[in-house]
Amino acid sequence: MTSHPKPVTIRPDVWSIPLAAVREPVDLEVIIPAFNESSRLPRTLAAMVTVLAAGSAARPGWTSRIVVVDNGSSDDTVAAAHILSLAGAEIVAIGCA
């Protein structure tokens, strides 16, 4: 007999998301996993920002965001994402380690 997992019911009174993790909804959210990517991340993010900006220009009201998920990097991965977010790009860096 095969056992199937029971469906999970999420109840707000039992399960909660920290406020820092709650973000405004967007049309497209690009998730970029990263580990020690400070040397590559600026170019990657700059290219992605350019593509998403073109999408926004072509579709008025269309929104997007880039989320960099840092997996415990020991370099400046998070700082690289933060610098571009200061320039006005919709970039969020979160940790998962």
Mean pLDDT of 1-24: 51
What pLDDT score was predicted for residue 9?
45
Distance of CA 84 to the CA centre of its chain: 13
What pLDDT score was predicted for residue 21?
57
Extents of the domains making up the chain: 26-95
- pLDDT classification of 8: cutoffs 50, 70, 90: very low
Rounded Cα distance between 54 and 14, Å, is 41
What digits encode the pLDDT tens for the residues 13-46? Answer: 444 445 555 667 788 899 999 999 999 999 999 9
What pLDDT score was predicted for residue 10?
44
Element (H, E) at 49: helix 41-58
List the 28-34 sheet strands across, edge first. 28-34, 64-70, 91-95
What digits encode the pLDDT tens for the residues 46-91? Answer: 999 999 989 888 888 888 899 999 999 999 999 988 888 887 778 9
